[in-house]
Each structure stands twice: as structure tokens, then as C-alpha cells.
Structure 1
Amino acid sequence: MKSTGFLQLHFFIFPQRKDGENVAECYKRIEYPDRKAIAALYAAGAKAGQIAKEIGVAPRTIYAELKRGREGDKLDKNFRPSYDADLAQKRAQESLRRCGRRKGGPAE
């Protein structure tokens, strides 16, 4: 008997990684020690894909993090935009502070 469309859709919503974990269980938030590790690896000349494997996140997460910690037009010794872990942590905390329920909306 052929598989139904529902089972195929179920497969696409919850694809499994090689080690058997569901994708939904693999999300990881970047914390300050991770930012320090990103800064050290980036300063050593590592690429985003290498940093992502080391930290355990997707390369897109590293690109977003490098953008968050960018210090204007300053370049590092590798002639790439510089990354500051302290600045990235400050911006992440400000972003989290802005999230949440807004007061004065239609519910109040």
C-alpha cells in the first residue's frame, strides 16, 4: 500500500537528523560563553561554517551573531568586520528586554 500525503507531510515537518534527534529539539540559544568562543574562533580566522560546527548551531545563526556584534566599520587583523562579544551580549539583552507583552493594548 502506498503512503498517504499526511505521512509525507509529517516527514517534512519533523525531519530527523543523522543522530536520530528531531529538528525541533535541536534549537540552541547563543549565550555569553558561546559569544566569547565565537569571538576567539573568528579572531583566529575561522569561517562561519567551522564556528557553527564548533558551537553546535546552524551557520546562519553565526552570520546573524557576527552581524549583531559588529563594531561599525572597524576591521580585524584578517581584514574582516570586527566582532565584539560584549557588544553582542548587550544588544541581545536589549532585544530580549523589548520582547514581551505590550501595555495599553486593546485587552486593557
Structure 2
Amino acid sequence: MITNIERFEAMLADGEDNQLLRFSLGNAYLNDGRPGEASIHLRAAVGHDPGYSAAWKLLGRALAESGALHEAMEAYNEGIAVAEERGDIQAAKEMRVFRKRVQAELDRAEDGHD
């Protein structure tokens, strides 16, 4: 049986490339425990549509899960700005919560280096 990742990668290989395909591929990789690969496709999703707040939110998660905490903060900051601009209050609220968690993780890491 073909997986979502295989199906989406085949679509990409066939020349289809848009924000929804990249978002779906990033989500599939994230669900498969591959946040590094997910972040590549989620960056492409927001490249296609910088106003895609759901992609910013998932990009922040993928970056955080791959240990790129500063980049996750940047993605959440951008995503919050986009969500607020579009009136997507729930997405902005969720990203603020996730950003706070990443900041706490960064603070713990800095405390460990003193």
C-alpha cells in the first residue's frame, strides 16, 4: 500500500508544486517522526503563500521537534503576525502558546550553560 508521503512525493516529482501539496507533505513527514524533512516542505509551503498561517504553525512545530529552537521562534513570530493580519485569532493564540513553550526550552538550555 502506498503511503501519503510516497503519493505526495510522486505528485511533486510529476511537477505539481503548491502550498497545499507542500503543507500536506510536511504534515505527513511530521506525523512519520521526521521533523527535519517536514521543515523543508513547510518552508516551501510558506514560500508559496507567506499568508498561510497553518503552515507557519506546523513549521514552528517541525523546527522545535528537530531542535532548531531559535528558528522555531522565528517561524512562530512570523506565523502570529500573519494570523493576526488575517484575523485568524485561534491560530495566533495557539502559536503564542507554542512559542512560550519553545522560549521556556531555550531558557532552560541557557540556564544549563551558566
* TM-score of the aligned structures, taking structure 2 as reference length: 0.32
Greater fraction strand: 1
- Indicate the structure with greater helix content: 2
